[in-house]
């Protein structure tokens, strides 16, 4: 029997959940004892004060006015029964994610040349990292808890998996084609994946490289984009109903598309975009059709690739329908390191003059990116990662003339080459060339080798789980009015994304430390906790 998704009956799951410590379930055990926080069977409700400062420049003097605004957050305690529908299900990321969740779910261990390997969720920020919540009574030692324990979250093992792909190869064979996982693991999970076959996907040849045509044997017929939209919506509804789900996260992990042109009257507003789909306009991309389908079905959509899926009409449509969107482009290796190292140098008062990044890889993503128009999308998402660090230090970098434009900026170049022999094992080389004291120069070279999909897969898991959590959080200001959902653009997902989508008109933050701090602070705010700073007054001042 061919299935579009994997769903193990609850009776079959009983007794076979993994016992590995990074994957084991724990009850939600954090209880905040405060008049700011209250609990019912259904909700956690917490009051939180957001503190900041407004700054005004007046005759060369900075006038600073501290501000504070009170909020109340209400979080549903029970995680939704959640499905994850991936576009690109049969690709390297989709097959790796499916196989590794199955390994964790069934506690499958496998032999490698280094010995027996246990399944885990290493690389997942939620499942394998911690957050500081305070100090231990009596000892003053820091207390850290897993991020996944701060608020009730879906366990990765419970995600119901399915999705679409332009290639109709069954999932066990697609996993073999990807050449990511150890053979002994593939051997054991293959029987679970053999019945899984991706649903037919959307294929518009103009948007991906011509070298992908040979894989496109599982596509929706015709060129009627409205018909394609309706079919994708039908697929989402059927998947949700068949698996008795409360929530479906739709995730683009397929090939990088070329950038779509933003054309007035075509994709600049929600109504224009919907009309352009009806008329099958050639500037409406497959990923945009999928995003619109998810929005109209009231389900979240996350873009894990660098193209501009979220044209202005998509954002407006999400706002109008109070649906959730997030993206763009998974931040797994080189760019994540760049956002840390560039910030370190600038914060240390060292001036990066140039940042040169070179990659080569041999998986299908690299094959697609060997086409110039698709590479351009990736180059754009990678190139802006240091902008906010530079803008934060005008002692090192001159600002734009008249306050407009980009101002002084390091030379920044990104190169990606397709080398089939290395497969999924990506090689990344970075050179940071900087000015130091009194005209001196410093060069830092970094070589990074990694299995691309083994870094990306945990990010997909984290993004899906965080997205589901954010659909359960509502807020209101200072006890006034009804609780309402968070804003449609989920910028709190930025930690996992190269080119974070933010509310139009607001600044993009690429600093990895600031992104992580924002997420930690928000999770604590939903419990009524102030963010614990590093001043540690009790040990440093008195």
Q: What is the pLDDT of residue 531?
A: 74
**Are residue 176 and residue 284 in the same domain, yes or no?**
yes
List the catalytic residue out of 336, 338, 351, 426: 426
Please report the beta strands in 480-534, taking only residues with DSSP state E, as ranges in sequence order. Answer: 480-485
The token pair at 318 is: 């999400």
List the catalytic residue out of 378, 387, 424, 430: 378
Query: DSSP string of 521-535?
Result: HHHHHTTTPPP--S-
Q: Tell the residue number behind the tokens 């400062």, with chain if given.
A: 53
**Are residue 381 and residue 436 in the same domain, yes or no?**
yes
Does residue 378 carry a catalytic annotation? yes
How confident is residue 11, by pLDDT bands cut at 50, 70 and 90?
Answer: very low
Q: What is the pLDDT of residue 414?
A: 86
**Are residue 352 and residue 439 in the same domain, yes or no?**
yes
Q: What is the pLDDT of residue 60?
A: 87
Domain residues for the domain of 435 are 334-451
Compute the average pLDDT of residues 180-187.
Answer: 97
**Are residue 178 and residue 283 in the same domain, yes or no?**
yes
Q: What is the pLDDT of residues 486-509, one digit of tens each?
A: 999 999 999 999 888 999 888 888
> What CA–CA distance (Å, rounded) separates 305 from 274?
22
**Is position 533 within any domain?**
no
Evaluate if residue 190 carries a pLDDT over 70. yes
* Helix or strand holding residue 317 (H, E): helix 312-321
List the catalytic residue out of 172, 235, 328, 329: 329
Q: What is the pLDDT of residues 253-285, one digit of tens each?
A: 998 898 999 999 999 999 999 999 999 999 999
Output the CA angle 395-396-399, nearest 5 degrees. 75
Lowest mean pLDDT of 18-22, 121-125, 341-345, 354-358, name the range. Answer: 18-22
Compute the average pLDDT of residues 205-209.
Answer: 87
Evaluate if residue 151 carries a pLDDT over 60. yes
List the catalytic residue out of 331, 336, 382, 498: 498
Evaluate if residue 17 carries a pLDDT over 50. no
The token pair at 419 is: 């080398």
Residue (of 429, 484, 424) closest to 456 by Cα position: 424
Does residue 278 carry a catalytic annotation? no
**Are residue 155 and residue 183 in the same domain, yes or no?**
yes
Share of the chain above pLDDT 90, in %: 67
Please report the beta strands in 153-275, taking only residues with DSSP state E, as ranges in sequence order. Answer: 160-165, 199-200, 247-252
**Are residue 326 and residue 338 in the same domain, yes or no?**
no
Q: What is the pLDDT of residue 371?
A: 61
Lowest mean pLDDT of 176-185, 203-212, 368-377, 389-398, name the range. Answer: 368-377
Does residue 498 carry a catalytic annotation? yes
* Helix or strand holding residue 462 (H, E): helix 452-471
Q: What is the pLDDT of residue 4?
A: 42
> What CA–CA distance (Å, rounded) separates 42 from 39?
8
Q: What's the length of the chain?
A: 542
pTM confidence score: 0.90
Share of the chain above pLDDT 70, in %: 89
Phi, psi of 413 (to 5 degrees): -130, 140
**Contact between residue 469 and residue 339 where contact means Cβ atoms under 8 Å apart:** no
Compute the average pLDDT of residues 25-44.
Answer: 85
Q: What is the pLDDT of residue 538?
A: 63
Q: What is the pLDDT of residue 188?
A: 98
> What CA–CA distance (Å, rounded) separates 147 from 132?
9
Q: What is the pLDDT of residues 309-361, one digit of tens each?
A: 999 999 999 999 999 999 888 988 778 888 889 999 999 999 999 999 888 88
DSSP annotation of 330? B
Evaluate if residue 378 carries a pLDDT over 70. no
Q: What is the pLDDT of residue 14?
A: 28
* Helix or strand holding residue 312 (H, E): helix 312-321
How confident is residue 6, by pLDDT bands cut at 50, 70 and 90?
Answer: very low
Does residue 234 carry a catalytic annotation? no
Q: What is the pLDDT of residues 412-458, one digit of tens each?
A: 888 888 888 988 888 889 999 999 999 999 999 999 888 889 999 99
The SS3 of residue 263 is coil
**Are residue 374 and residue 229 in the same domain, yes or no?**
no
State the CATH number of the domain containing residue 369.
3.30.360.10
**Are residue 364 and residue 409 in the same domain, yes or no?**
yes
Please report the beta strands in 150-209, taking only residues with DSSP state E, as ranges in sequence order. Answer: 160-165, 199-200
**Is position 93 within any domain?**
yes
Question: Which of these three, 415, 436, 451, is where a domain ends?
Answer: 451
Q: What is the pLDDT of residue 147?
A: 96
The token pair at 481 is: 């009015």
Q: Is the C-alpha dihedral spanning 197, 198, 199, 205 positive or negative?
A: negative
Q: What is the pLDDT of residue 363?
A: 75
| Structural domains counted in the chain | 2
Instruction: Give Cα 45 distance to the centre of its chain.
Output: 27
**Are residue 350 and residue 221 in the same domain, yes or no?**
no
Q: What is the pLDDT of residues 40-62, one digit of tens each?
A: 999 999 999 999 999 999 998 99
Evaluate if residue 2 carries a pLDDT over 70. no
**Is position 269 within any domain?**
yes
């Amino acid at each position: 029997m061919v299935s579009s998704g994997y769903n193990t009956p609850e009776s079959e799951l009983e007794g076979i959940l993994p016992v590995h410590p990074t994957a084991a379930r724990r009850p939600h055990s954090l209880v905040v004892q405060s008049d700011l926080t209250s609990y019912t069977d259904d909700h956690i409700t917490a009051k939180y004060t957001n503190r900041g400062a407004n700054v005004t420049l007046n005759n060369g003097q900075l006038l600073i006015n501290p501000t504070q605004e009170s909020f109340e957050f209400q979080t549903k305690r029970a995680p939704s029964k959640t499905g994850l529908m991936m576009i690109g299900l049969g690709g390297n990321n989709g097959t790796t994610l499916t196989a590794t969740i199955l390994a964790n779910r069934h506690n499958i261990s496998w032999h490698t040349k280094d010995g027996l390997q246990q399944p885990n969720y290493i690389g997942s920020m939620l499942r394998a990292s911690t957050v500081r919540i305070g100090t231990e009574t009596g000892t003053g030692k820091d207390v850290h808890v897993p991020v996944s324990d701060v608020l009730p979250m879906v366990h990765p093992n419970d995600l119901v998996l399915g999705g679409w792909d332009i290639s109709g190869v069954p999932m066990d064979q697609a996993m073999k084609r990807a050449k990511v996982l150890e053979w002994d693991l593939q051997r054991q999970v293959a029987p679970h994946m053999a019945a899984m076959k991706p649903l037919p996907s959307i294929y518009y040849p103009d948007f991906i490289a011509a070298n992908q045509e040979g894989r496109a044997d599982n596509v929706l017929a015709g060129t009627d984009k409205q018909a394609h939209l309706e079919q994708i919506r039908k697929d989402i509804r059927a998947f949700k109903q068949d698996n008795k789900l409360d929530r479906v996260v739709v995730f683009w992990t397929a090939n990088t598309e070329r950038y779509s042109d933003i054309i007035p009257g075509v994709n600049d507003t929600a109504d224009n975009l919907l009309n352009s789909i009806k008329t099958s306009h050639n500037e409406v991309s497959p990923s945009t059709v999928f995003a619109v389908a998810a929005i109209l079905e009231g389900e979240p959509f996350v873009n894990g690739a660098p193209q501009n899926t979220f044209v202005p009409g998509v954002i407006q449509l999400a706002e109008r329908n109070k649906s959730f969107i997030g993206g763009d482009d998974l931040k797994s290796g080189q760019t994540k390191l760049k956002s840390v190292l560039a910030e370190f140098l600038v914060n240390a008062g060292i001036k990066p003059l140039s940042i040169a990044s070179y990659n080569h890889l041999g998986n299908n993503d690299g094959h697609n990116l060997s086409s110039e128009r698709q590479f351009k999308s990736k180059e754009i998402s990678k190139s802006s990662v240091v902008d906010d660090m530079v803008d934060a230090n005008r002692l090192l970098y001159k600002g734009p003339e008249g306050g407009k434009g980009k101002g002084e900026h390091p030379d920044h170049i990104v190169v990606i080459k397709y080398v089939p022999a290395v497969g999924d094992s990506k090689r990344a080389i970075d050179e940071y060339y900087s000015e130091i004291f009194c005209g001196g120069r410093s060069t830092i070279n970094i070589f990074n080798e990694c299995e691309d999909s083994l870094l990306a897969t945990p990010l997909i898991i984290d993004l899906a789980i965080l997205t589901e959590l954010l659909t359960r959080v509502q807020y209101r200001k200072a006890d006034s009015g009804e609780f309402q959902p968070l804003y449609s653009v989920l910028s709190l997902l930025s930690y996992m994304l190269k080119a974070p989508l933010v509310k139009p008109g607001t600044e993009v933050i690429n600093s990895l430390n600031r992104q992580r701090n924002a997420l930690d602070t928000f999770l604590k705010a939903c419990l009524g906790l102030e963010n614990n700073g590093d001043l540690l007054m009790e040990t440093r001042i008195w």
